[in-house]
Amino acid sequence: MTQPEKPPARPAPAAPGRLEMAARHFFGWVYIRALGWVRHLPDDRAMARSRRLNKFFTVAEEPIARRNIPLAYDPGRAGEIQAGRFEYLSRLKIHISRLQGAGPCGILSQVNVSGAEHLAAALEQGKGVLMVSAHAGTWWHAPAVAASLGHPVSSVLTQFLPNAIVRYLDGVAHELDCSLTFVRMGAYEGAKAAFKQKGIFYLSFDFASRSDRSIWMPVGDHAVFPVDTGPGVMAVRHQVPVVWVDTWHDETGRSNIRFHAPIQAGRGTDHPTPGAVLDFFRARLADQLALYPEQWWLLGHGNLKELSEVPADPAFSLSETVPA
């Protein structure tokens, strides 16, 4: 039986222009300065100041959130989610600010951690581990906690981040003995090296930084969002255990990290294709959003659409296989 011909590859997204990057760098500089203004304050004062700062930092993303939230959720929930999102973002800034200078003991004192035995069991297989989360809660605590527990960790960042934010994250990574790579700038080689060294490669799956290899996935009640197929392909190609991490803030604002039991990917497993792996990620994200929808950062940064707007994408099938 002849295989259907694949459609031509979609072009890669264009790089931001010079003026846009200049604006991003300025925003990043202001953002990092703002982190310094809340880092050492007691929680109540830090939260009060972060709320004031948040009114400025959310100006650009509020129109996106006001469009996205009603797409994903029914009107009765939209207002509640929007209000909760402001509090979430205010708390997120405090958590990010306290990554710097904390060191392993400080990180572990800031976060409620559960399921660490699952991560250890995955590493004991001796293949390396692909660790995955969503952009929810304080997701940067996931690699920070793994490193603070004594595991070797590499993380991937999207391209075109502001210089000040890259320097900040690079400094935190250095303190925790982690390494950072970037999409299209050594990420695949970084993952391959991490697995070869039997370490952890961490990424968040729900941001399509490469539109040339993205697909649409359902979220909420009646919306879809784009995800990069790369994590699914990576899991199947390298046949490493995959550990999902829940990341959320509890009712007190404390950051929580929960490592799930590892799944196996590739031929002969319950997740034999990239699509099956991505569908597992989507289901885990749906579980989190059922409890804390306001804590999905991408509500103010993603590109959600109504399900009816997006035709089935033949460029990537849920049954697609990837050669070893």
The string of pLDDT tens digits covering residues 127-136 is 999 999 999 9
Q: Percent of the chain at pLDDT above 90?
A: 61
Direct distance between the N- and C-terminal alpha carbons of the chain, in angstroms, rounded to an integer? 22
The domain total for the chain is 1
- Flag whether 316 is in a domain: no
DSSP track, 81-107: HHHHHHHHHHHHHHHHHTTTTTHHHHH
User: Residue 134 falls within a domain, yes or no?
Assistant: yes
Q: At residue 286, what are phi and psi to the nearest 5 degrees? A: -60, -40
Sign of the alpha-carbon dihedral angle for 297, 298, 300, 304 = negative
Domain containing 143 equals: 18-309
- Check residues 206 and 221 and name the one with the higher pLDDT: 206
Q: 304: exposed, middle or buried (C-beta count within 10 Å: 0-12, 13-18, 19+)?
A: buried
In this predicted structure, the answer to whether residue 30 has a pLDDT above a threshold of 60 is yes
On whether residue 315 sits in a domain, the answer given is no
- What integer best gives the mean pLDDT of the chain? 87
Give domain status of residue 293, yes or no. Answer: yes
Q: How many CB atoms lie within 10 A of CB 192?
A: 15
- Residue 267 in any domain: the answer is yes
Tell whether 229 is covered by a domain: yes
pLDDT of residue 192: 86
Q: Name the pLDDT band for 183 (thresholds 50, 70, 90).
A: low
Residue 173 within any structural domain of the chain: yes
| In-domain check, residue 314 | no
- For the stretch 31-83, pLDDT in tens is 999 999 999 999 999 999 999 999 998 988 899 999 999 998 888 888 899 98
Residues 210-239 have pLDDT tens digits of 666 788 888 887 899 988 888 999 999 999
Quote the pTM value.
0.89
Beta-bridge partners for 129: 200
More confident residue, 166 or 312: 166
